[in-house]
Amino acid sequence: MSDELTSELRELAAEGETLPALPGAEIRGRAVRRRRRRRTALAVTGASAAAALALVVAVNLGGDTDQRPSPAASPTGTPSLPAVPDATVDLSRRVLSVAGRELPLSSGSAWTPTATGRMTVTGKEAVKLMPGSEVGLKGKYSLKVPWVIEFSASDGTANYIAALTYDDKAPGSYDRTSGWIGLRQTDAKWLYEQLRPGSVIEIEGIAPSSIPTGRATATANTGPSGG
């Protein structure tokens, strides 16, 4: 491109020194050729400038990528925290704690202990007809149990909390269920309104092995006599 421009300049200088008489057609032809050469030079210059600009942009955007420190990797996830239980059952104290209240309870006896661990409420029934053997009664085919809250453990083991209507003195004093948790009827109704499906219940401790005085006396009287 430089040689062509130099040749053009020399030609123009030579023409300026000597102005030979030329016909009009020759003058017009030379003018056309000059315009063409100028357009070509401008086009080549513009293309070169565009290529240089693109190179500079590419260098600024990605040329030094390898030299920049990579951003710190964000954690893939937050470890899930254990759910805070909505209610806690302490079998050793015979107490169910929920919403700042402590409700006396009666759990399974030494022969039918209540399972411990973290449970989840799966359903509720205001009244449920249950076999007497499941409730802990002998000689009864069925019994209407009010304010039943059903829950289950992670292994699928099911249990429930309900009103212990046939022995209102047992909650807080002694254990006589077949493994479920019995409450006084008023407490069972209140708890029924507090807990929802999905609520978490934590059961812990070991139930005392005490037996009501009357039952212990009856057992002693009916047992074999000592020699």
pLDDT digits (tens, 9 = 90+) for 12-48: 666 655 555 556 666 666 666 777 766 666 665 666 6
**Number of structural domains found in the chain:** 2
Task: Please provide the average confidence, as pLDDT, over all residues in the chain.
Answer: 76
Is the full-model pTM beyond 0.75?
no
pLDDT digits (tens, 9 = 90+) for 96-138: 999 999 999 999 988 899 999 999 999 999 999 988 777 777 7
**200: enclosing H helix or E strand:** strand 200-204
CB count within 10 Å of CB 146 equals: 15
Quick one: 44 and 139 in the same domain? Answer: no
Rounded to an integer, what distance in angstroms lies between the CA atom of residue 89 and that of residue 205? 8
Quick one: 98 and 203 in the same domain? Answer: yes
CB-CB contact of 206 with 194 (8 Å): no
Q: Which residues pair with 123 in a beta bridge?
A: 150
Rounded to an integer, what distance in angstroms lies between the CA atom of residue 126 and that of residue 146? 5
* pLDDT range class, residue 191, cuts 50, 70, 90: very high
- Residue 216 falls inside a structural domain: no
The residue range of the domain holding 106 is: 87-209
Quick one: 9 and 111 in the same domain? Answer: no
pLDDT digits (tens, 9 = 90+) for 46-60: 666 666 665 555 555
Quick one: 94 and 199 in the same domain? Answer: yes
Quick one: 95 and 9 in the same domain? Answer: no
